[in-house]
Amino acid sequence: MAAPRPSPLRELAGREGVVAVFTDGDIGAEEFDRAVAPASAERPTVVVMDDAEVLDDCAAGTSLKRLLRHGAEHGLALVLGGAEEEVCAGFSGWQVDAKKARRGLLLSPQASLSGELIGHRVGRSAVGYPVQPCRGLLHLGDGRLLSVLVPSD
């Protein structure tokens, strides 16, 4: 997990199943690779990042690109959270690769252009509402946008 700013993710440090929690504005390549090394099809690992826009130029960028391109083959997945107008912005870097994957889940999108983050146009009727916990719009890369409920405890 990565939380370069104060976040509820930081409270998960030390819990069972949480391999590492990175709290700096940079993630070292070696420490990131060490944290995800145990991942496999039998032991999948999800990297969860809050405020991902802060980490757009982190030292682990090459490792994150590799995760985006080949992670599924090795039991790895990536979940990005952040300011939708900043995350995946620009023309290069690992976050642009995340955007090029053209799939993902938007939680409470606030603008029609938010759909560009997941490769699907989002109609004006689906944006701008107050945050609705556990509700999102999912695009799996197949051209369909699905309304989903995300489980919470």
Residue 77 exposed, middle or buried by CB count within 10 Å (0-12, 13-18, 19+): middle
Select from 99, 79, 81, 78 the least CA-distant residue to 89.
Answer: 99
Are 10 and 3 a contacting pair, CB within 8 Å?
yes
Q: What is the pLDDT of residue 35?
A: 94
Q: What is the pLDDT of residue 107?
A: 82
DSSP letters of 28-69? -HHHHHHHHTT--SSS-EEEEESSGGGGTT-TTHHHHHHHHH
The Cα–Cα gap between 2 and 5 comes to 9
Select from 19, 84, 11, 98 the least CA-distant residue to 53.
Answer: 84
Amino acid identity at 18: V
Select from 41, 55, 40, 42 the least CA-distant residue to 1.
Answer: 55
Q: What is the pLDDT of residue 20?
A: 95
Residue 38 exposed, middle or buried by CB count within 10 Å (0-12, 13-18, 19+): exposed
Q: What is the pLDDT of residue 153?
A: 64
Q: What is the pLDDT of residue 82?
A: 87
Which ranges of the chain have pLDDT less than 70?
Answer: 153
